[in-house]
Structure 1
């Protein structure tokens, strides 16, 4: 799976799982990924996930969809950065997503877990839409220049 898509899916699923009774299992799965690839950060990530749980519960209590989306975006970014630094962890993160995070979600939320692959080559652009969110990636061709019509 594309690392950006994997990070997006895992981040959204993580936030959803933190609102469930299985949140500790979800936390432990994500901390295990960090422990394996960034052991110096694992304890801090565990603390951050406990804070995430409190924020997710607050968002649920207030029915605040914008807060849930912001929390998911934050964790998508964290996971994306981890994948950029440690690309070999993609398989492990995908395993945690499939075996821990997605099964932790309530049945109605599991139907909203998407896997989507968009491919662009050279200076191509890829657009993906999931649950109303637009995801845009722009390739960098070998010429290194701006796409035609782009302002410098």
Structure 2
């Protein structure tokens, strides 16, 4: 969820609904860490300028780096206050994700997988494409 929130936040910075999204992020910070709200507001604006410049230049590396920074910030926030996980989920579901295009939404979808293999069994799981090449020998 933290990874999805960071990625969605950066993608939302280049949308027409950025002001509403920004307000929602600041609302979370005001509740969680009111003393950090001013610096978070400045950091959001700097990140947005970086995203807009990166999109103009076709610089996906910068966008990914910015998303990584915000993933870390969200992770620290939730690590320090685990009760904020529900609020971060709400921010992601109600404010960040709706601001994105269908393609961007598919990039931030979360996947939960569980598997169990017994008696030498194998499990292969993937959130996207998976290619497996194996040769099996029957021992003869």
Higher strand share: 1
Question: TM-score over 0.5 for the alignment?
Answer: yes
Look up the match of 1:99: 94
Q: CA deviation at 1:108?
A: 2.3
Q: Which residue is equivalent to 1:86?
A: 81
Q: Is the 8 A contact 1:114 1:130 kept in 2?
A: no
Normalised TM-score (structure 1)? 0.73
Distance of 1:13 and 1:83 partners within structure 2: 17
Pairwise CA RMSD: 2.0
State yes or no: 1:58 paired with 2:56.
Answer: no
By percentage of residues, which structure has more helix? 2
- Bigger-Rg structure (1/2): 2
Aligned to 2:31: 36
1: CA distance, partners of 2:97 / 2:18: 12
Larger RCO (CA within 8 A; separation ≥ 6)? 2
1:129/1:31 Cα in 2 relative to 1: closer, same or farther (>3 Å)?
Answer: farther
Q: Which residue of 2 aligns with 1:138?
A: none
SS at structure 2 position matched to 1:112: helix
Say if 1:80 and 1:107 are closer, same or farther in 2 by CA, change over 3 A. Answer: same
Structure 2 residue runs without a partner (length 5+): 116-124, 130-140
Number of residue-to-residue matches in the alignment: 120
Change (3 A) 1:76 1:130: farther
Gapped runs of 5+ residues in structure 1?
1-5, 121-127, 133-152
Note closer, same or farther for the CA distance 1:84–1:35 as it changes in structure 2 (3 Å cut): same
Cα 1:53–1:86, aligned 2, differ >3 Å: closer, same or farther? same
